[in-house]
Chains A and B, each alone.
Chain A
């Protein structure tokens, strides 16, 4: 089944309590941060803390990533430690070119070889946070077999673009960047994750932002506070009507296949390949969110 990435929660790698509890809030992915949320003088202690936590604690099926520092600012050590600890993926911030990904990949590959971890098992998640990265999104998304997703980091991006965030105006200032990211992700067959929404008290605006990115085709959104998780997850969870419609589409296509029919219709509308694919995705999302299971009635 396709892995859900509706919510990717930032957890500062310096915080022992959050590291212990990170799995309790229902995020699909946990992203431990060694970069911007960690002061320069605590990079070393945070790296040891997250290394030990990932080696020891059981995060279940939740995907674990770590946001590393720039390679010339401790990133090399970050990557070596995290690959050895068994992290699922390295999240590279401020990615600008495909070469940035290849540089990280080389360190990962070298470490996997040194420590005997299966070659290719450590994945890469690229975060694009500036205009050059946005313009190179497709090159970045296709730079390595290890890439599982691409994310937008909008705070740095809007600063570079000499603007700021305008969520109250439908975030038009990042529409181009979002479109580039989601197109690159879909062309490469990887996940697209949107930027954080930094006002943790405004759940209405968070819901509106999430509805916009869902409409654009994103898989999910980065989260900076556990309280944001349920709002985002609920936007990405298919509603009962969508699920029923998807079930009907799948039943119709199965019936047509059994009869050997070609073109089929449901409620007067032709069902073609894209409609079937959308129905499959709705059911995958619903099943992964625990609101639907094949062959079972779910109480709403």
Chain B
């Protein structure tokens, strides 16, 4: 598994309805720190965090700070925006290993 290391800020997604904007940056304190804002946080906050955490784990991200603004996104949108933000933050947009993504992404 390629271990993605966050070494710059990466943003993906929009603030439009049904989307989620994810900003990911380095976390000098170590570990994953998610700051989530969502209109459906009470009902789905736990699920949104779980989807993001699972995706980060699959991408081998161990240290990152995330600002997440959810506008009612589906899980598949949350996964897509997380993958995109991580690739941008690890400067690997032009070097995507689709085979590896597919190993865990079913």
Write the residues of chain A forming the contact surface with B, with a CB cutoff of 8 angstroms.
14-17, 19-20, 44-45, 48-49, 51-53, 55-57, 77, 80-81, 84, 114-115
List residues 1-55 of chain B with CB under 8 A from any CB of chain A. Answer: 12-14, 16-20
Q: Which residues of A contact B20 (CB under 8 A)?
A: 16
* Smallest CB gap from A80: residue in B: B98
Q: Which residues of A contact B19 (CB under 8 A)?
A: 16-17
Chain B min CB distance to A25 (Å): 16
Separation of A49 and B12 alpha carbons in the complex (Å): 10
Q: Is the CB of B76 within 8 A of A57?
A: yes
Given contacts A17-B17, A44-B87, contact A53 B76 (CB under 8 A): yes
Given contacts A17-B17, A20-B18, A49-B77, contact A44 B93 (CB under 8 A): yes
Q: Is the CB of A17 within 8 A of B16?
A: yes
Q: Which residues of A contact B98 (CB under 8 A)?
A: 77, 80-81, 84
Q: Pick from A15, A51, A77, A114: contact of B80, CB below 8 A.
A: A51
Q: Is the CB of B74 within 8 A of A15?
A: no
Query: Is there a chain A Cβ closer than 8 Å to B89's Cβ?
Result: no
* Smallest CB gap from A50: residue in B: B80
Q: Is the CB of B84 within 8 A of A56?
A: no
Q: Which residues of A contact B18 (CB under 8 A)?
A: 16-17, 20
Q: Which residues of A contact B105 (CB under 8 A)?
A: 52, 55
Q: Is the CB of B16 within 8 A of A16?
A: yes
Given contacts A48-B80, A52-B80, 13 further A-B contacts (CB under 8 A): A16-B13, A16-B14, A17-B17, A20-B74, A44-B87, A44-B88, A45-B84, A52-B77, A55-B105, A56-B76, A81-B96, A84-B99, A114-B99
Can you report 12 residue pairs joining A to B where beta carbons are below 8 Å apart?
A15-B16, A16-B74, A17-B18, A45-B12, A45-B80, A48-B81, A49-B84, A52-B80, A52-B105, A53-B76, A56-B74, A77-B96
